[in-house]
Structure 1
Amino acid sequence: MSAPLLEVGRLNKVFETKKGRVHALHNIDLAIKEGEFITVIGPSGCGKSTLLKIAAGLDTDYEGEVRLSGEKVTGPGIDKGFIFQEPRLFPWLTVEKNIAADLSLKKPEVRQKVDNLIELVKLTGFEKAYPRELSGGMAQRVSIARALLRNPKILLLDEPFGALDAFTRAHMQEVLLDIWQANKTTMVFVTHDIDEAIFLANRVVILKPRPGAIKNIIPVDLPFPRKKASTSFQEIRYKILSEFEKLDELELVESAGI
């Protein structure tokens, strides 16, 4: 059996605040295989985004171990792509130049790769458009293409569709699955939405709060494309909901757009 791509071991994270110490993550152990699509879900304040930022190397102040391809994660790098909740595009650059970032489109290999990514994220015809001319979903697709440009080993997505309307969000879920299936990039996706978590993932990691810890990991053994109204989909949904035993936890998740 091959070694996991991403390994998180005995991870603990404490924030020092004016009101005292906040234990954000407690003894997180997680192994993710190459090519997997993992979703992370849980109530607000359970440490989902903190876990993602630590895996990306954006936060290195913790106890425990995080390894990518066997090497300790000590900071951000091109081997880890990160997608924030908002697109964070350069407003003065076109779509193609935002994707290329600091690489020159005059180089044939860069030009070819940018063109391929524009086609992959379904933005053909918008190469010369500026961020102000794009919808929220289109702008987030530019962010994903930019993150994929350098062939990261893993793509970490922090609620990237949270601000989108329901129809755009559903479309973006389909687009992201197309990208994952075409590129085989390992993905870890944080969300508040149980249906979204099941629709996308091979496994759903459920976190509980105070402090954030893994409550359970639910496998999603459903073929693609998935139907949210199907009996098998709803059975997994019920299984995940049943993990939220406390009423306040269930309300926090249900109020987040399900």
Structure 2
Amino acid sequence: MEVSHLTVSNISKQFDKNEVIKNLAFTVEENEFVSILGPSGSGKSTIFSLIGGILSPDQGTIHLDHQVINGKRGYISYMPQTPSLLPWRTILENVLLGQELQGKKEKEAALEMIAIAGLTGYENAYPHELSGGMKQRASFIRALLSPQSIICLDEPFSALDELTRLDMQKWLLSIWEEHRRTILFVTHNIEEALFLSDRIIVLSNKPSQVAAEFHVPFSRPREESLFLEDEFLEWKRKIYYSLKKRS
């Protein structure tokens, strides 16, 4: 049987006597944008730690591109909630970091992405000279330029104000439409998940399992006006009540 791009097969994880994840199973196909929603404490960040090899599951397997990656690092590109740019490196040096760690350095591609992100003129600036939204763009460029085949984004816009967050969502979609990388995205925001995703996975309370799954019906490219459409609001209500059952 053909293995999906990412396949999480019945993984479980507990810390001491605290069972966080139990028999969790889902797939992410190549070039798909999948969001994970769940109640607070349902293990969303733990899932990323397991996929990224920082933690190993107590049972179950994680396959990526036909390989078992349980406990193995370096197979995903990861963007955390905060930009995590190195303060002593310029923006250009920061976005090239993922490539450098893999023994390559495509400076021209990085400069092109910096220009697309609206950061032209900041190539040699340092992180403290950028706004929060600009830092997030630089952090995402670093993730996008890294050679790994899947990008895991852990609530990357949660610390931004509402307008900056919307701008970043639209920017992320425009970049993703062009490059079509595989993305697994954790968020607490239902509207964000609906606006960005092909599919939404809803987790149960801990020990978390997949409680529901929704295929987002909206065509691409997506515009900001989608937020005000009746169908969008109906889907928001549907997912809200699904989440409320799990909390």
With normalisation by structure 2, the TM-score equals 0.91
Match of 1:5 in 2: 5
Match of 1:63 in 2: 59
Contact 2:200 2:215 in 1 (8 A): yes
Matches within 5 A, 1:99-248: 99-101=95-97, 110-223=106-219, 224-226=221-223, 227-246=226-245
Match of 2:42 in 1: 46
Match of 1:252 in 2: none
Deviation at 1:102, TM superposition (A): 7.5
State the Cα RMSD in Å.
Answer: 2.1
Deviation at 1:33, TM superposition (A): 0.5
Q: Distance in 2 between matches of 1:220 and 1:55?
A: 24
Query: How many pairs does the alignment contain?
Result: 241
After superposition, the C-alpha distances for 1:191-234 in whole angstroms (9 at most, x for unaligned) are 01110011100011101112111110111010131411111111
Letter in 2 for 1:153: S
Matches within 5 A, 1:83-98: 83-98=79-94
Q: Distance in 2 between matches of 1:28 and 1:138?
A: 35
Distance 1:102 1:144, change over 3 A: closer
Contact 1:152 1:185 in 2 (8 A): no
Letter in 1 for 2:238: K
Contact 1:37 1:200 in 2 (8 A): yes
Contact 2:99 2:145 in 1 (8 A): no
Match of 1:254 in 2: none
Contact 2:98 2:142 in 1 (8 A): no
Q: Distance in 1 between matches of 2:180 and 2:228?
A: 27
Letter in 2 for 1:58: I
SS at match of 2:228: coil
SS at match of 2:73: coil
* Unaligned runs of at least 5 residues, structure 1: 250-258
SS at match of 1:170: helix
After superposition, the C-alpha distances for 1:39-95 in whole angstroms (9 at most, x for unaligned) are 001110011111122112221243111010110113221x41000111111111111
Contact 2:98 2:145 in 1 (8 A): no
Q: Distance in 2 between matches of 1:102 and 1:241?
A: 36
Matching residue within 25, 28, 31 for 1:32: 28
Deviation at 1:157, TM superposition (A): 0.6
Q: Distance in 2 between matches of 1:68 and 1:173?
A: 26
Deviation at 1:189, TM superposition (A): 0.5
* Unaligned runs of at least 5 residues, structure 2: none
SS at match of 1:164: coil
Deviation at 1:243, TM superposition (A): 0.9
Deviation at 1:122, TM superposition (A): 2.9
Deviation at 1:241, TM superposition (A): 1.3
SS at match of 1:31: strand
SS at match of 1:156: strand
